[in-house]
Every structure is written in structure tokens, then in C-alpha cells.
Amino acid sequence: MTSEPTTQLLDVAGRRISQRALMRGLRVNMVAGALGNAWAAMALGMATTMFMECNGASGVMIGLIVTVQQLAMVTQIPASLYAERLASRKRYWATLALAQRLVWLVPAGLPRLAAAGMLAIVALSSILTHACAACWYSWIADLVPERIRGRFWGVRQSITMAAYLLAMAAAGWLLDAFPDPRTPGGSFTGFSLCFAAAAVVGVLDILIHLAVPEPRPTPRTVHLPILEQLLAPLRDRDFLWITLSFGVWAMTVGLTGSFSVIYLTREFNVSYTEVAATSIAAGLSTVLIGMLWGRLMDRIGARAFGALMLAVTPLFSIVWFLVDDSVLSFTLPVIGSFTVHQPIFLLVVVNLLAGGFYAGVSLCQFNLSSMLAPKEGRTLAMAVHWTLVGLIGAVGPLAGGAITDYFARHPLNTVLPTGTHLTFYHALVVLHALLLWLGVLPLLMRVRRREGDVSVHRLVGNPLRVVGILNNMMAAEAAASRTRARAVRRLGDQRVGVAVETLIERLDDPASEVREESVAALGRVGTPAAVSALVERLEAPACDLAPQIARALRGARNPEAVDALLRRMAGDEHETQAECARTLGEIGDPRAVSLLLHVLRSTQDARVLVACADALAHLHSFPALPEILQRAREAPSDVVRNSLALAAGALLGNRDEFYALLTAETEHPGSLILPQLARVGRLVERRPVFRPRLQALRLMLEALEEACENQDGPAVVETMWRDRDLISPSVPSAHPEGRAEAASDPLHKARVLSGLWYLGQLHQAVARKEPVGPIEVLLGVHFVVSCLWAEG
């Protein structure tokens, strides 16, 4: 896991936690977590369940092993209320956690402990665990930077699950190495060694974890009554929904969890090692997929990720309806021949995928609870979350045990197509699937979608597109710069907010082509987060991508960028000025008019000149028209002159229409202006609004057509000036019957006044015998035609 920038953290002594110390602490946390998972595999995994089975415990008693662990979560609340008053969470956590691990020396030293005694050990261990659990969650939530939270939990889960697998295999081997206590000559020695090893690695976990730095907790600014403190986190509806959702999730997992071991050993007489192999397969899936899950969750959002996991996981339960009591034989080159029960083979194969999806739900819970828990009073908020999860989850094992005992008293004679009987466990997995689809998933969907999260409807409705997006996000981290650049370009083309974080990371890529493609892609995505990232980079003094960023912001058209663009445009770098001007025009914010006018008057760079004129036209800045026309007359080339004329045409009428007129008339004079005048003539004949001055308009249009056909510019100018009162619907005295909305439109009125001013300038030039160019005449005709079209 690479380091990421983070906000400054202070430890409990007020000292700054450096980036190096932070990342080292996260790595130490993973190592300690690996030992903690090894303890869980040996103490609370298969060993405890089979210990109870060997002691003749009933289904309800076995279910109580999990139930007491869930109920013990209630201790988190009083413990958290106490811990929030402490200056250091670490010392409090370490004291209780060490005591909790040492408890397991009792069953190690007393291997013939009764089932009730083991239940008491588990209960005491769970109480100590949860008395310090909320402290640990809030401590680590404060420590892990938000940007890498999903990645951290994903990597951590993979590492800790690898340790769990090794410990699970070791536990299975230890238990199989000694005769079953239920057989003649059997002993509990395997269980004793297993619990002793668990205590040792558990203590090592706590001691190593003491090297993890502890950030100073955020103190409460308002001291509320205890009941108010407990209810405060739940008033956040999203925090409430994830608590209820994962509470039902814990219940469904407890419903089936421990009873799969009972079903396999009772119905198929499998060995402990074979049972361990199914758990190892599930854990191996977690190790292989965990890192991918963390990155995926950072990309699509924890809500969408959790919904995907919950939609898929129940499907894996189908395997339990396919098992039979056959034994399969295999021969492998190195291992040789061996046999395995068919249920174990199927479960190992399915768990290689299913384990990753079930672990993904837990990963989602860690992420969402850390993200949604308030910083102030986080320890208590986490305690409330896990307590409610535990209370709801406690129902599952009890219900599972009751259903198991019921089927033991009332077995069914129904036989599945595979030849096996329908049993208690089939009822449990069906109930498990229904609760996931009808309970857990709908509750999670009530959590509001955050900006940048993938829509669940999009994820389900167009999964291929989502897979393509995720593939491009992965390719954006490839080793080859060209591969990265292509992937970034495709992400921009797909225009999805979920890619923004990836694209922001690529802004610091060593390859300039990747950085430039990232800038362009963020502009095409255009979400507020993308725009903010571009603006922040544009504001940086050492920004080497200012023109590219200004160009990218043109597509987003977000007013948030205006101030940064104005500051950049005030500089003297011509390419940046031109791109900023064009973008400001596209955004259309009137704050830009003053600076654009100033640069238009002062610049000597053709690119900047044309960009400012075009931007002012987009902003409907009619006071800029005289300056644009003046700079057009002084233009050093026809290209610049035509570009400035296009900006003037946008102010006097429709830009696209003048563009078509300008290009056509430049190549073939009269090819478009005459058809336009004829079309306007037909419009005047048809529309009732022109009826009061129809005859005068006919004469004007005929005179204009004749003058244009003869390419007589002064005649065209004089006709337009003479009949100017027929042209402008904004002059009430010309035709009172004209449309009121045309006259009352401020933009249209400003355009008409500017156009009449321009016709006056043309008339004065002709009167002074000054040359009037064809483009200048064309602008006047364009204004006349536009006014008549607007009125009609």
C-alpha cells in the first residue's frame, strides 16, 4: 500500500504524527491483526464448536456460543462512556485485551471443562473483547486517511485472512492428530494445545499493536445526558440504516455459521481437517480478492459495493442442495491418489469464490461504519453500532439452534434429487438467503448515495459498462505510460463520477501525456469534485498544465472556476489567456466581461484577441461591438478579420447562421444571401404581424436583393439605413401591432439598438466616401434578416 497525503494528525501528547509514522503504524496494525485472526481461528473457530459437540451439547447450547458473543456487545456502551473520558484509548484497550487473551489459558489447562464451563469462558472473553472494541474501532478510524480507507481495509483483510488460514489448518491438524474424545482411548489433548497456542499468539497481537500511534480523539464540545448521547448517532438516518442492515446481516450469518460444521460431521462423517479445508478455501478467496475489493470499493463507493455483494452472496447457498454422500477419488502427479467426500469437494470449489463475497460484506461494514460515525463522540457511536448489531445478530444462532433441535425431533422424509435427505441445514440456508435479499439489502439501499458513488441501478442495469469502467480504472495504474494514457482517455469518454479519484491521482503522473489526458478527462466528467480538482491545480503557482486545464474546464461550464480563470487570464502567457477567455465565454458568467474587454483592447496576440471577442459574444456583451469591429478593421490577416466578424455576427444575430453566410459568401458571393432574402420575403408575406407594413417591406427587400445581386455595397447600406424603422420590432413607433414579447425582451432590444448603431456607422462611412468591405455589408444584412426572423 502506497502512502497518501493526509491531514495533520496529533497524538495524545500533542505531537505531530508524521506521514512516515502513520504508514508504519498502519503496517504494524496489519501484522498485529494477522496474529489476532490466528487467535480467532484457534480459539473461536471450529475448535470451540467441536469441543461443544464432543461434550454432548445440544443445538441450542452450540448456538449459545455465538449468541453470547453477540450479546456481549452490549458492554461496548458503558465501556465507551467510560473510555471517552480517558486521555488514551490505547492503554485502556491493551489492558482489557491482554486479560481477554489470557482467559484462554483456562480451557488449555482444564481440557475436560464441561460445555457450560466453555460457554462461560466464551462469555467472559467476549465481554472483555467488546469492552474495548469500540475504542479500537474509533482509534483506527481516526488514524486511517479517508482516501485510502477502502484500500487499507482490503489489504488488511487479505493479510489477516492469510494468517487465519494458516491457523485454521494448524487447528485442524492438531485436532486430528489426537483421537476423538468420544471414541475409546480418545483425549482432549488436541483441544488443549489448540487453545494454548491461541492464547500465545493472541498476547503477541496485543503487544505488537502497542507500536501503532494513537491520534488525539476529538473531544465532545457539548455534554449531553447519557440517553441523548446514545441516541445522537442514530439520528443520522444513514448511520441508523447501516446499523440495522448489518445487524440483520449478523443475524443471518449466525443462523447458518456454526451449524454447517454440525451438518457435515453428522450427515457425512467428515474429518476436522476436511471441515478446515472448506474454511481455508473461503479464507483463500478473501486473501486473493481482498486487495481488489478494497480498491473496487474506493472506486464505486461502499454503498454500491455492499449492494453488489449482498445481491450475489445468497446464490452460493445453492451448493448445499447439490451435496451427496459419495466419495471422490483423485490422482495428482506429486500428491498421488487420495479421496475426499463430495460435499467437501463442492464446498471447497464454491468457497474459493463465495468466501471473497462474504468477506466483502464485512469489508463494506468496516468502511461505512468508519465513514458515517461522527468524529465527535466516535467511540460511543461505534459502540452503539456494534451493540445493536450484536443484539440483532444474537437472534440468529438461537434461531438456528432451535431449528436444528426441532428437526432432530421431527426429521423429514423428503429426499433431494441428489439422494440426501432434506435437513435442518437446508431450512437454515433458505432462510439465510431470504433475509439477505428481503432484509439486509433493502435496508442498505436506504443509505444515501454519496457523490462519486456508482448508482446501484446502473451497476445492475448495465454491468458490462461498469466492468469496462473498472477495467479502465485498473489500467490507469498500469506500468506503461501509454497504457495509462489510453485508459485515462477512455475514462473521460465514459463520463462517470466514480472515476474522478483515479483521474485526480493521475494528475501527478510522471508522464506528461498521462497528466494531460487526466486533465481532459476530468473536464469531460465535469462533476463538482472533478472541477474542484482542476481549479485547485490551476491555482497552484507551479502549474504546468494551465492551458490544458482551462480548455478542460470549458466542457464543465461550472461557475466555480471563474475566479481562478480570471486570475490566470490576468497573466501574460498568451496560450493560457486564450484558453481562459474561451472557457469564460462558455461558462457565461458576467464577472468576466470587464477583464475580457480590457484584454480585447490591449492585446497584440491574435489568438487572445479572437478568443476575447468570441467570449464577449457568448456573454452578449453588446458594448464590446465597437471594439470588435475596430480590431477587425485593423486585423493583420483575413483569418483574424473573419474570426472577429464572426464574433460581431453573434452579437447582431445567430452565430451559426452568420457562420454559414460568411463561409458561403466568401467562396461564392450571392450564393446564400440572395436565398436568405427570398426566404425572409416569403415569411413577411405569410405572417400577420407584418401586414401593416407589408408593402414597405416588399419594396425594401426587393431593393436589397437587387443591390446584393449587383454587389453594390453602398446601395445595400443606404437601403438598410433608409428603411431602418421597418426592421426593428423594438421601436414601438414603427409598428405598434408588433409582438409585445419581442419588444420587451431585454436581450433582443439590446441587439436591435446595437444593430441600428452599426447601420448608422455604415451609413456615415458611405456618406464620407470611405470604403465599406463586403464583410461589413454582410454583417448589416445579417442583422436585418435576423430581426425580421425574430419578429416573424
Name the β-bridge partners of 337.
331
- At 297, the pLDDT band (50, 70, 90 cuts) reads confident
How high is the pLDDT of residue 135? 83
How high is the pLDDT of residue 743? 44
Long-range residue pairs from 642-647, CB within 8 A, at least 24 positions apart, any chain = 642/666, 642/775, 643/610, 643/613, 643/614, 644/609, 644/610, 644/613, 645/775, 645/778, 645/779, 646/614, 647/610, 647/613, 647/614, 647/616, 647/617
Give the model confidence (pLDDT) of 28-69 as tens digits: 999 999 999 999 988 887 788 778 878 777 777 777 887 788
pLDDT greater than 50 at residue 690: yes
466 assigned to some structural domain: no
What is the rounded CA–CA span in Å between residue 344 and residue 271?
10
Q: How far is CA 519 from the centre of its chain?
A: 19
162 assigned to some structural domain: yes
What are the two backbone dihedrals, phi and then psi, of residue 339, each rounded to the nearest 5 degrees?
-120, 155
Do residues 176 and 238 share a domain? yes
160 assigned to some structural domain: yes
532 assigned to some structural domain: no
Give the model confidence (pLDDT) of 192-240 as tens digits: 899 899 999 999 999 999 999 988 877 655 566 778 878 888 889 999 9
Per DSSP, the residues of 253-308 read HHHHTTHHHHHHHHHH---HHHHHHHHHHHHHHHHHHHHHHHHHHHHH-HHHHHHH
Helix (H) or strand (E) holding 10: strand 9-10
Do residues 47 and 145 share a domain? yes
656 assigned to some structural domain: no
Which CATH number goes with the domain that contains 280?
Answer: 1.20.1250.20
**699 Cβ contact list (under 8 Å, min separation 6):** none
How high is the pLDDT of residue 289? 79
Whether 646 and 633 have beta carbons less than 8 Å apart is answered as: no
Mean of the pLDDT values across residues 152-180? 83
First to last CA, the chain: 67
Single out the residue in 445, 469, 501 at which a domain terminates.
445
Give the model confidence (pLDDT) of 736-790 as tens digits: 333 333 445 788 888 899 999 999 999 999 999 998 999 999 999 999 999 998 8
How high is the pLDDT of residue 222? 55
pLDDT greater than 50 at residue 410: yes
Do residues 614 and 679 share a domain? no
How high is the pLDDT of residue 700? 93
Do residues 318 and 355 share a domain? yes
Mean of the pLDDT values across residues 496-511? 83
pLDDT greater than 60 at residue 733: no
Between CA 551 and CA 558, with CA 555 as vertex, the angle to 5 degrees is 100
One-letter amino acid identity for 384?
V
Do residues 644 and 715 share a domain? no
- At 458, the pLDDT band (50, 70, 90 cuts) reads low
550 assigned to some structural domain: no
Do residues 611 and 685 share a domain? no
Name the β-bridge partners of 11.
215
One-letter amino acid identity for 119?
L
Question: Lowest-confidence range among 95-104, 116-125, 439-448, 610-619?
Answer: 116-125
Long-range residue pairs from 713-718, CB within 8 A, at least 24 positions apart, any chain = 713/772, 713/773, 713/774, 713/776, 713/777, 714/766, 714/772, 716/777, 716/780, 716/781, 717/759, 717/762, 717/763, 717/765, 717/766, 717/772, 717/777, 717/780, 718/763, 718/766
* Mean predicted lDDT score pLDDT of the chain: 86
Single out the residue in 651, 682, 711 at which a domain terminates.
651
How high is the pLDDT of residue 113? 74
How many domains does the chain divide into? 3
Do residues 619 and 686 share a domain? no
How high is the pLDDT of residue 473? 65
What are the two backbone dihedrals, phi and then psi, of residue 448, each rounded to the nearest 5 degrees?
-65, 140
Do residues 178 and 208 share a domain? yes
What is the rounded CA–CA span in Å between residue 792 and residue 789?
5
Per DSSP, the residues of 335-356 read TEEEEEEHHHHHHHHHHHHHHH
Mean of the pLDDT values across residues 586-612? 94
Do residues 625 and 699 share a domain? no
**64 Cβ contact list (under 8 Å, min separation 6):** 119, 397, 398, 401
- At 475, the pLDDT band (50, 70, 90 cuts) reads low
517 assigned to some structural domain: no
Give the model confidence (pLDDT) of 328-375 as tens digits: 988 878 777 888 999 999 999 999 999 889 989 988 998 898 788 887
Mean of the pLDDT values across residues 485-511? 83
Task: Determine the 3-state secondary structure of 421 from DSSP.
Answer: strand
* Domain of 777, in residue numbers: 673-791
What is the rounded CA–CA span in Å between residue 125 and residue 127?
6
Single out the residue in 618, 651, 684 at which a domain terminates.
651
Do residues 52 and 153 share a domain? yes
Q: Which residue has the higher pLDDT, 324 or 466?
A: 324
Do residues 602 and 723 share a domain? no
- Other CB atoms closer than 10 Å to residue 692's CB: what's the count? 14
pLDDT greater than 90 at residue 451: no
Whether 317 and 435 have beta carbons less than 8 Å apart is answered as: no
Do residues 102 and 199 share a domain? yes
465 assigned to some structural domain: no
CA neighbours within 13 Å on the CB side: how many for 460? 11
Q: What cell does 666 get?
A: 466568401
DSSP alpha helices (H): ranges in 588-654? 593-602, 606-618, 625-633, 638-652
- At 6, the pLDDT band (50, 70, 90 cuts) reads very low
